[in-house]
Amino acid sequence: MEAYERRFPTCHLIPMFVDSEVLEETESEDGSIHQVQRRCKLDVDAPRLLKRIAGVDYVYFSQENTLNKRERTLHIESHNETFSNRVIIHELCSYSAHPENDDWTCFEQSASLDIKSFFGFESTVEKMAMKQYASSIKKGKEIIEFYLNQLEEEGISHVPRWTPSLDAPFSSSSSVTTKPVCATPTDATSNDATSQPDNQMENQLGTPDDKLDADYIKRYLGDLTPLQESCLIRLRQWLQESHKGKIPKDEHILRFLRARDFNMEKAREILCQSLTWRKQHQVDYLLETWTSPQVLNDYYTGGWHHHDKEGRPLYILRLGQMDTKGLVRALGEESLLRHVLSINEEGLRRCEENTKVFGRPISCWTCLVDLEGLNMRHLWRPGVKALLRIIEVVEANYPETLGRLLILRAPRVFPVLWTLVSPFIDENTRKKFLIYAGNDYQGPGGLLDYIDKEVIPDFLGGECMCEVPEGGLVPKSLYRTAEELENEDISLWTETIYQSASVFKGAPHEVVIEIIDASSVITWDFDVCKGDVVFHLYHSKRAPQTPRKDPLVGQHSSITTPGGNNVQLIDKSWTLGLDYSMVESPLTCKEGESVQGSHVTRWPGFYILQWKFHTMPGSASTNLPRVDDVLASLQVSSHKCKVMYYTEVIGSEDFRGSMTSLESSHSGFSQLSHATSSSNHSQSSSMISR
């Protein structure tokens, strides 16, 4: 209890815990029961846009603590005051003496979350709440141990237990307080008893010969405590002794130490993994060897642009104007990743250059992301998956390189994208995000606080011409097939999003998906690369037999061609309407079309996606072929079509959550949210882009 009380009225170990005040404090006549009611102020880690929509900057909780000294228990009950009519959060915590060993403490924690409505962002709020709660559970034990260690450093290693006697030690002991106390670092070091840990730290740092030159630190590394300086020296020495290959500069080693709060073991682990990765993929030579394809130069809407007020290199990304799907389809993930890595390598080079120019350490850059134009096309799931993989690689190998991220003109659809990508972004990195909706960036606390007026780009109302490409749709003529993308150089990952298939006259290509839970969502995205096809979706309670590789054996066939696979799953003895049923109306797709769609399943079982060769209907009045039929048959060589497809199954709960925020978006996909909520009928939605 003594350690627990030190968390109040605020706690530097819990950044989101801003403040607290005691509303009521009571104590029983015999002093055995002590109750405190507090009001706590929290700064929740939520997108600024969401806070602005909700109209709040802070969240308030009511907390009631009941300490029973006779029973040796502490019960903590808390609930939210903010948005209590929309969201109900109830948490119970209990500290008690172990029944078999009264020198041990048992801790139990439970919580419930009930979201009634929250401006259409129910899923976003739920995920943030779950994330915050999981984080607090993990950190709770570390915090209580911190204050226990602090008590021991102050010479308090034992607190007398309460007794009913009036002259009990409890009432006169100077080591126990009933008033909330917040311990600061100065409080912990002001006592003479702390001199011993300081001496131990000095011994750990080693001799003066092991220290770096003070001018060097100030000029290139920035402020370092003696312990941080020691960690840097020891990690560098370990690399020199054990690592075979190029040793990174002190600035780079320091980034990994900062990313792991100067935990030597953790920093060494991720640094070694990154060095191995750099060597394996020759990243050190990327700037000299990588040449951006012309499609990137024309349609990738990002580029370097001067520097911010702190001298950090400034990178501008006009994400809302970028055709992410077109770039993925024209270049593949490999080229996009290499381009992003080259941007990061260039950022490191510019940091070194600016350090020399400004005469002070500059180890990170500022990124400005303009979201004007962001829409449902940017939420194309394979594109989002490619983005998440890029984030994963960058987070692992370029830690602490992002000093600040300014997100401007965030539209209503942005919280959905944030929900998808934020779990993959390190917590320390997320704290550097500043999000502005509409023209808020032009007001107080906006862009002028971070960037000089002279370098604000023209497209944001400034006077500086920005050379970042304006983007636009990538022509479909530049799209490449899966086989062409697979023939790239050594890939930094092996997973391929798309699969290719050939469709022949009389031999459709079929894909089976087993659904366990009804109301799951089957999504698809495919391009008709050659010829015209008809797309069907069927359902069967029976599992199709595994296709055989030899097309001449049995009634199922699996043909492998240079243009892709051809798999037939529906048994020729099956009868439509008896053995299987059609759950989607046939969709005729022309050559060059891109089709995205989804189907909310009504029943469990096996769903078969089928691409079938499209036969042009003949004239009813004559047996002679029409001119259009003859021309169409000439365009389709050897009665063969080709499709490139991607499918995915999303659980009903996940799909409902990710689509909740889209109800207000002007897109054909907004109907999917309604479809998911309907359980009586099978719903679907498809979009064709030409």
Taking residues 165-192, report their average pLDDT: 39
107/322: higher pLDDT: 322
Q: Is 587 exposed, middle or buried (0-12, 13-18, 19+ CB in 10 A)?
A: middle
Give 17-53 as a 3 state SS string: EEEEEEEEEEECCCCCEEEEEEEEEECCCCCHHHHHH
Strand 365-370 and strand 313-317: the pairing is parallel
Q: Is 511 helix (H, G, I), strand (E, B) or coil?
A: strand
Q: Is 357 helix (H, G, I), strand (E, B) or coil?
A: helix
- In whole angstroms, what separates CA 52 from the centre of its chain? 21
Mean pLDDT for the chain overall: 76
Closest CA to 643 of 613, 599, 617: 613
* pLDDT at residue 181 is higher than 50: no
| pLDDT score at 45 | 61
| pLDDT score at 124 | 64
Give 48-80 pLDDT, tens digit per residue.
544 555 556 778 889 999 999 888 899 999 888
Within 10 Å of residue 542's Cβ, how many Cβ atoms? Answer: 11
Cα angle, residue 92 at apex, residues 88 and 98 outer, rounded to 5°? 170
Give 287-320 pLDDT, tens digit per residue.
888 888 899 999 999 999 999 999 999 999 999 9
| pLDDT score at 307 | 94
Cα angle, residue 110 at apex, residues 104 and 111 outer, rounded to 5°? 155
| pLDDT score at 332 | 85
Taking residues 562-576, report their average pLDDT: 80
Angle between helices 122-153 and 652-659 (to 10 degrees): 100
* Residue percentage of the chain with pLDDT more than 90: 24
Give counts: helices (H), strands (E), the chain. 20, 23
| pLDDT score at 453 | 92
From first CA to last CA, the distance across the chain in angstroms is 67
Weakest-pLDDT range from 42-51, 176-185, 328-337, 615-624 = 176-185
CA distances (Å), 242 to each of 245, 268, 301, in order? 10, 12, 42
- Both tokens assigned to 520: 């799951």
In the chain the domains, ranked by start, together with CATH numbers, are: 1-154 (3.30.530), 284-477 (3.40.525.10), 498-544+565-615+639-657 (2.60.120.680)
Q: What are phi and psi of 227, to 5 degrees?
A: -70, -40
- Both tokens assigned to 219: 């000029």
Give 375-392 pLDDT, tens digit per residue.
877 777 777 778 888 888
Weakest-pLDDT range from 61-65, 254-258, 490-494 = 490-494
165/578: higher pLDDT: 578
* pLDDT at residue 485 is higher than 50: yes
Taking residues 272-279, report their average pLDDT: 82
